[in-house]
Amino acid sequence: MIDRDRDSSKEQPTFEPAEILLSNLLNDVVCEQSPPELTNRIVSQFNRVTACESASATTSKSASMQDLSGGLFSLAEYDQAVAFAESEIARGYGWTVPLAAENAKGRSQLAEKKLSVWIQRGTMLVAVLAACVLAVLLIPPGFETKPTIEPRINDIADSRLDQSQRVDQTVPPQVASQPDSVAVITAAPDSIEKPFSNERQLAIVPDNRVDNAIKPPNSPMVVANNHGPSSPTKQMSDNDIIGIIDDQLKLLWERVGVTPQPSIKTELWLERSSLAIVGRLPTAAEKEAFRSNKNGSRNVEYVDKLLASQEFSKRWSEIVAGHYLGKGVEGIRSQPGPQLSFVKWIADSLSNKVFVGDIEREMISGPNSAATSESPLLRTDPAAFWLADILERSEVDHRESSEHLSKKPLEQKNVGLVAAARQTMRIAGSASMVCSQCHDGESRKGDFDDYLAATQSIRGQDSFWKVPASLSGISLDRRVAGVRPLKVVKSSEYFFEDAEGRLKLSVAGPPIQINGTTARSTLADWFRSSVEPRRAMVELVWNEVFKQPLVPVFGLTEEEGNNDRADLRYFLASQMQTGERDLGALLRWMVLSSAFRLDGQKMDSPWYLKATSEQIAEAQKQTRLFASLFSSESSIRESKWNSINEIANWVKANRSYELNNQALAQGAISPTSQSSLSQTSKPNYSEAQVRFLVSLSKPYRKVSDVANRLAASQMSWPMLLEHAYLVSDSRFPTQGERDESEKLFQAVEQDRAKALVMIINSKLGSN
């Protein structure tokens, strides 16, 4: 079927799969054609083929099989098609096709880069030319020269597919084996790269997207003991990992058509990396030491020095503890003792470069006594605090939600495990877990006593977990978002019954034995051994460094690089897992990447008032795709105040925030007129505080103008909302903020300007 609206006589049509697929589908849609009922036909044909097969076995006349059965294919062709399908799926057919083909090309980018540097410098040019001439003269015909500069090896790709496999995956082998009837044009690797025509040095071949769920039916079943991806990822060097981050983002920009911002100056990078790692601007001594260091790897040395500092472990222990506990602990000094111990325990782990999987295993596999502890605050074991904390909160939840639940001891309800599962799932992939008794839409009365007998659904945009009930050995099934976000499916179709009638997973997942004594330890082991939980850590760190999630829970479109970003996240997680790397290593990869050096546009109120709609759209696109980075330090620099400390000192001295913020905003008070500046000591503010204080100098009076300007555009409400957060808080809204804003939008009867003013003001803290 061809695309009918193309005029092939004028030019060679480009192949657009989406358009062709759409045209093909439209035929059936406009004609209201639905699939025919073919069951009887299939059954009768199957019986005919089977009968012929058995007849031929007795008479040895296999040649006439096809004619006898009346089918389209011979038995050999049947077998061939089945064998090809099995082998493809066994290799994880699905998402690897274009990217694997892409790997076949683009290995020479590094060599070209290095060569171009030499050429630019103008050195050795003569020598190279002379060598080339000499080589041409000396090398015999047919001799294949090797590249002078060895390209980096894509370990990921090589671990999945070698060169021959890549070709096999896109070109069915039967074609190659029958050259006599060349009716099939096997595509060269280059031609497969149409969607990603630009060269890249390294590419990511994900192997545990949805294709983890795709196993050939005849292959050995994946049982619950099979944790993690089937093919281990090779450990790569830090430089290669950083190169892949750059390449993956570069690929995304090229594909989407976004031009990245130029790189920032070194000094600005210094500030940016300091803020990311230790949460403060670099000191004068640090800057001077950096300047005087003429070593080519001074950036790396600077980052390593920061990572080795106590400031790093302190700052990131609070971030990580907040992540695990589900509540902010950053900057809070009056925390309960056990909680402080927990934070300190994480800080020590970070200082000692402990693998994140070990930290999580320690937390989850806390002693059983934690489940019956009276209060988490009585816990003396820092690692067990986490479990005790979530258990207590779960108990409160249950008491509040259903009175009768509290009438029985918690042990009977096994609330502990459910709570642990819920919290661990949240950690593992930002997935939420809800009881399907209510959340599946079917309110089932009675039977509530057997809390666990009801199906538990763990849902999330990014992953879907489902826990079947009434099983002695229970398993969590997990599906990772692949090409598109998954919808929640309410059936248990991702499970299957084995020959012995036991329900088993269709994919690998963490095993949980609800009634077993080793439930938590098994779950803990899975957290230690599987790459999946590392994804959440990648997301956390990326969010902190780049100021927006790598793969947001609210989902992205194809244009926003949903797949590329998911690939990158999985890649980083797998490298973290394979090398058992600590959080500092992950942070190091991100901070040393080229993306982290990109400049940021200052999308403030004056900019919004001047920018055209195209510029606004482009800036949003750039920012969304990490081609333009948020730059809090540039805001600080360009502030009308001499330094952030002056603002901070002034605010601290005057204390009356509400009154003076307005005065500040209107420019009525200049920094030089503040006599109280000298009265305060030098503050040491966190990045969040710095951001807030800088925001005080923003021109509030233009908020309504900006809101009107944005509201007058043709952008959709979600897009407007993102701009509102960009202008007011230099970041994208979180899922919760999106939900809240949607309610607000409805509450003001969808008055876009009004809603935007309220949202921007709520972020700036003034009207």
Residues 484-523 close enough to bind other proteins by CB under 8 A: 484-487, 493-496, 506-507
Least distance in angstroms from the C-beta of 517 to other proteins: 30
Using CB under 8 A as the binding rule, whether residue 128 contacts other proteins is answered as no
Residue 14 or 352: which CB sits closer to other proteins?
14
> Which two structure tokens, joined as six digits, stand for 231?
């093919």
Q: Name which of residues 213 to 272 contact other proteins (CB under 8 A).
A: 213-219, 221-222
| SS3 at position 608 | helix
| In contact, 274 and 282? CB cutoff 8 Å | yes
Q: Name which of residues 526 to 555 contact other proteins (CB under 8 A).
A: 555
Using CB under 8 A as the binding rule, whether residue 88 contacts other proteins is answered as yes
Residue of 430, 576, 549, 554 lying closest to 485 (CA atoms): 554
Q: Name which of residues 446 to 465 contact other proteins (CB under 8 A).
A: none
- Encoded one letter per residue, x for contact with other proteins by CB under 8 A and - for no contact, window 10-49 reads -----x-xxxxxxxxxxxxxxx-xxxxxxx-xxx-xxx-x
> Which two structure tokens, joined as six digits, stand for 27?
């035929």
DSSP state of 263: B
Using CB under 8 A as the binding rule, whether residue 191 contacts other proteins is answered as yes
| SS3 at position 479 | strand
- Of 55, 62, 73, 255, the residue at the interface with other proteins (CB under 8 A) is 73
Residue of 506, 604, 624, 612 lying closest to 559 (CA atoms): 624
Using CB under 8 A as the binding rule, whether residue 177 contacts other proteins is answered as no
Angstrom CA distances, 363 to 167, 333, 374, 390, 459, stand at 45, 23, 18, 11, 23
Q: What angle do CA 330, 308, 580 make, to 5 degrees?
A: 85
Number of shown-chain residues binding other proteins (CB under 8 A): 97
- Encoded one letter per residue, x for contact with other proteins by CB under 8 A and - for no contact, window 555-584 reads x-xx---x----------------------
**Binding window for other proteins (CB under 8 A); candidates: 69-77, 322-330, 665-673, 719-727:** 69-77
Residue 5 or 11: which CB sits closer to other proteins?
5
Residue 165 or 662: which CB sits closer to other proteins?
165
Q: Name which of residues 610 to 639 contact other proteins (CB under 8 A).
A: none
**Binding window for other proteins (CB under 8 A); candidates: 120-128, 183-191, 408-416, 751-759:** 183-191
- Of 102, 155, 207, 211, the residue at the interface with other proteins (CB under 8 A) is 211
Using CB under 8 A as the binding rule, whether residue 172 contacts other proteins is answered as yes
* C-alpha Rg value of the chain to the nearest Å: 30
Residue 376 or 460: which CB sits closer to other proteins?
460
Using CB under 8 A as the binding rule, whether residue 668 contacts other proteins is answered as no
Least distance in angstroms from the C-beta of 342 to other proteins: 37
Using CB under 8 A as the binding rule, whether residue 118 contacts other proteins is answered as no
User: How would you classify residue 200: left for phi > 0, otherwise alpha for psi between -120 and 50, otherwise beta?
Assistant: beta
Residue of 427, 490, 423 lying closest to 456 (CA atoms): 490
**For residues 415, 421, 427 and 430, what is the CA-based torsion angle, rounded to 10 degrees?**
-100
Residues pairing with 512 in the sheet: 474
DSSP state of 432: E
Residue 122 or 217: which CB sits closer to other proteins?
217
Residue 448 or 495: which CB sits closer to other proteins?
495
Least distance in angstroms from the C-beta of 156 to other proteins: 20
Contacts 24+ apart (CB under 8 A), 538-542: 538/569, 538/572, 538/573, 538/576, 538/586, 539/430, 539/569, 540/319, 540/320, 540/323, 541/583, 541/586, 541/587, 541/590, 542/569, 542/572, 542/590
| SS3 at position 190 | helix
Least distance in angstroms from the C-beta of 180 to other proteins: 11
- Of 55, 68, 128, 175, the residue at the interface with other proteins (CB under 8 A) is 175
**Binding window for other proteins (CB under 8 A); candidates: 349-357, 407-415, 478-486, 639-647:** 478-486
Least distance in angstroms from the C-beta of 51 to other proteins: 12
| SS3 at position 459 | strand
> Which two structure tokens, joined as six digits, stand for 233?
């990822």
Q: Name which of residues 49 to 68 contact other proteins (CB under 8 A).
A: 49-50, 53
